[in-house]
A and B are shown apart, each in its own frame.
Chain A
Amino acid sequence: MVDHLLGIEGLSKNEIHRYLESAQSFVEVSERDIKKVPTLRGKTIVNIFFEPSTRTLASFDIAGKRLSADTINVSAGASSVKKGETLLDTVRTLESMNPDVLVIRHSESGAPHFVAQHLSRASVVNAGDGAHEHPTQALLDLLTLRQHFAESGRDIEGIKIGFVGDVRHSRVARSNIWGHLALGNRVRLIGPTTLVPRDLATVFRSDRVEVAHSLQEGLDGLDVVVCLRMQLERQDEHFIPNLDEYSKEYCVSERVLARCCPQSVVLHPGPMNRGTEVTGDVADGPRSLIRRQVNNGVAVRMAVLYLLARTAEPHEVFEP
């Protein structure tokens, strides 16, 4: 049975913890002098990115290399996608390289699922699809929080977390929300009605998700605040009047955090627009876990590749 990681939706609490526990072991590997283990020697990992990305691609690439797998990176600009090839044809071509894992990012929601259905032997990892899911980012956010709460003798289960900003278009938020719901946590979605419509909460089919349109009310009593990236093109699409107007109402500052949730910690999936969704004093301050998120990225992706690559089936010899 070939395993895929297409989304956090549907994962059980135990499955999430299994990823996080393995990732914690890979944190140690990343701190060694020789940051390489022979675990996936002889395995091939293809990273195919139909959407520009530097950080996620670099992170997957280095994770594969530290496990001794052979990694191939294909970016849409350089491939035949630009020449009009369909997704399925591209993937079939890549399959002829006999990859064990295919890491895919695509601007269309559901593209990794489509690919997974048409590949017979390789494991598929979703590295972000449209506004749907970005499961490895959610896992690294969860790992960061698990480490933080473990240090203060607390548990990641039972916390209150809020997502501030463009929840509607955020695959990071979506994956995170599914993860926190699986862990039994309470989730609050905070932002203007255009970016956090009231019925967005119903998507998650849980009474532990609530919506707040005022930043002060939304932050009240939270343990964790996730600031989402405000994509600059959103103002042209009229979701917000303009960035200044948005940040006046929704920029997460030390002042508002100190008033509404003084004990909270702050995450940001990056890249950050300082002064738009989060102020510099928060991002660089003591409650920020942002640096740690970056450090955990490679370890989480190593864990995902480790757990999936071994379920890939051996390739049959091609007979014409």
Chain B
Amino acid sequence: MTKQYKPVPREWQLVMDEETIARAISRISFEIVEKDRDLKNLAIVGIRTGGEYLGKRLAEEIQRIEKIEVSYGVIDITLYRDDLSSAQSQPTLRGTALPFRIAGSRIVLVDDVLFTGRTIRSALDAIIDFGRPRRVELAALVDRGYRELPIQADYVGRVVPCQRSQLVRVRLSEMGYRDGAYLIDREDR
């Protein structure tokens, strides 16, 4: 039986398909394990909402490879945004859940698209309010460039060259879509 996926607009240009995303997650998992053998204190933290499911997949993949328990949490950065007063509508709060000790941990932050870096800045502030991690790394499925802050990813699924005005969207099976990353011209939004 084939699964029914929600469709995405035809104009959206596919830049990463199901297989590419799966391979990227697998590769990043190996890189995380390789970079630092201290896996006891490893915790994967997905940034809501884009990084939530990717973070979960990464944590599961590392558990499969290493046969160990990997802590997993989600973080809602809404309360730490620097554009709250200019945002058009009130972003919904979805809550933060970090069910492990932050102090001394090795945290890998996960987001779907790395763009200006402002979300990551907010996430760092949020995490540090919970304790002092030993180190924080960053994984992103897509790096689209145009950073506005000195922030770089340690692990990247794919670098997607694009224009600043274009949008990059990631759709995953957890949201009811076929896995895919898309490049979108503004008008088609």
Contacts of A37 in B (CB 8 A): 79-80, 129
**A279-320: contact bitstring with B at CB < 8 Å (1 yes, 0 no)?**
000000000000000000000000000110010000000000
The answer to whether A247 has its CB under 8 Å from any CB of chain B is no
Could you tell me which residues of chain B, from 104 to 147, have a CB within 8 Å of some CB in chain A? 125, 129-131
Closest to B122 in A: A38
Tell whether, in the assembled complex, residue B85 and residue A32 are in contact, meaning their CB atoms are under 8 Å apart: no
By a CB distance below 8 angstroms, the chain B residues around A28 are: 95-97
- Closest residue of chain A to B81 (Cβ to Cβ) is A39
Q: What A residues does B95 contact at CB under 8 A?
A: 24-25, 28
Interface status of A256 (Cβ within 8 A of chain B): no
A32-B129 contact, Cβ under 8 Å, with A22-B93, A38-B79: yes
Q: Is B2 an interface residue (CB 8 A)?
A: no
Question: B80 to nearest A CB, angstroms?
Answer: 6
Bound-state CA distance A307–B85 (Å) is 11
A58 to chain B, nearest CB (A): 22
Confirm or deny: B52 has a beta carbon within 8 angstroms of a beta carbon on chain A: no
Q: Which B-chain residue is minimally distant from A100 (CB atoms)?
A: B85
B residues in contact with A203, CB < 8 Å? none
B14 to nearest A CB, angstroms? 34
Q: Report A20-42 CB contacts with B as 1/0, cut-off 8 Å.
A: 01101110110011101111000
Cα(A25)–Cα(B79), bound, Å: 10
**Interface CB pairs A-B, < 8 A, 21:** A24-B95, A25-B76, A25-B93, A28-B96, A28-B97, A29-B79, A32-B129, A32-B130, A33-B130, A34-B130, A36-B129, A38-B79, A39-B78, A39-B80, A67-B79, A306-B79, A306-B90, A307-B90, A310-B84, A310-B85, A310-B90
Contact string, B56-83, partner A, CB cutoff 8 A, digits 1/0? 0000000000000000000010111100
Determine whether the beta carbon of B80 is less than 8 Å from that of A38.
Answer: yes
Are A38 and B93 within 8 A (Cβ)? no
Task: Point out residues on B near A: beta carbons under 8 Å.
Answer: 76, 78-81, 84-85, 87, 90, 92-97, 125, 129-131
CB contacts (< 8 Å) of B97 on chain A: these are 28
A162 to chain B, nearest CB (A): 32
Find the A residue at minimum CB distance from B96. A28
Which residue on chain A has the smallest CB distance to residue B130? A32
Enumerate A41-88 residues with CB–CB distance to B below 8 Å.
Answer: 67
Which B residues touch A36, using CB under 8 A? 129
Partner of A38, one of B87, B92, B125, B131: B125
> 15 additional contacts, CB 8 Å, given A32-B129, A310-B87?
A24-B95, A25-B93, A25-B94, A25-B95, A28-B95, A29-B79, A34-B129, A36-B129, A37-B79, A38-B125, A39-B79, A39-B80, A306-B93, A310-B85, A310-B90
Residues 1-32 (chain A) with a chain B CB within 8 angstroms:
21-22, 24-26, 28-29, 32
Q: Which residues of A contact B79 (CB under 8 A)?
A: 29, 37-39, 67, 306
Q: Check A21/B90 contact, CB under 8 A, given A32-B129, A39-B80.
A: no
Q: Interface centre among B78, B80, B96, B129, by most A CB within 10 Å?
A: B129
Q: CB-nearest residue of chain A relative to B125?
A: A38
Residues of A within 8 Å of B84, CB to CB, are 39, 310
Which residues of chain A are near B85, meaning CB under 8 Å? 310
Q: Which A residues are CB-close (under 8 A) to B76?
A: 25
Q: How far is the CA of A306 from the CA of B85 in the complex (A)?
A: 11
| Docked CA distance A306–B125 (Å) | 19
CA distance A129 to B125 in the complex (A): 39
Complex formed: what's the CA distance from A38 to B93 in Å? Answer: 15
How many angstroms between the C-alpha atoms of A67 and B93 in the bound complex? 14
Q: Give Cα distance in the complex from A13 to B95, angstroms.
A: 22
Q: Once the chains are docked, how many angstroms separate the CA of A306 from the CA of B93?
A: 10
Which 4 residue pairs are nearest across A and B when measured between Cβ atoms?
A25-B93, A37-B79, A39-B79, A25-B95
Task: Using CB atoms, name the residue of chain A closest to B128.
Answer: A34
User: Smallest distance from the beta carbon of B4 to chain A beta carbons, Å?
Assistant: 29
Q: How far apart sit A26 and B131, CA to CA, in the bound complex (Å)?
A: 19
- Given the complex, which residues of B lie within 8 Å of A21, measured CB to CB? 92-93
Q: Which residue of B lies closest to A312 (CB)?
A: B85
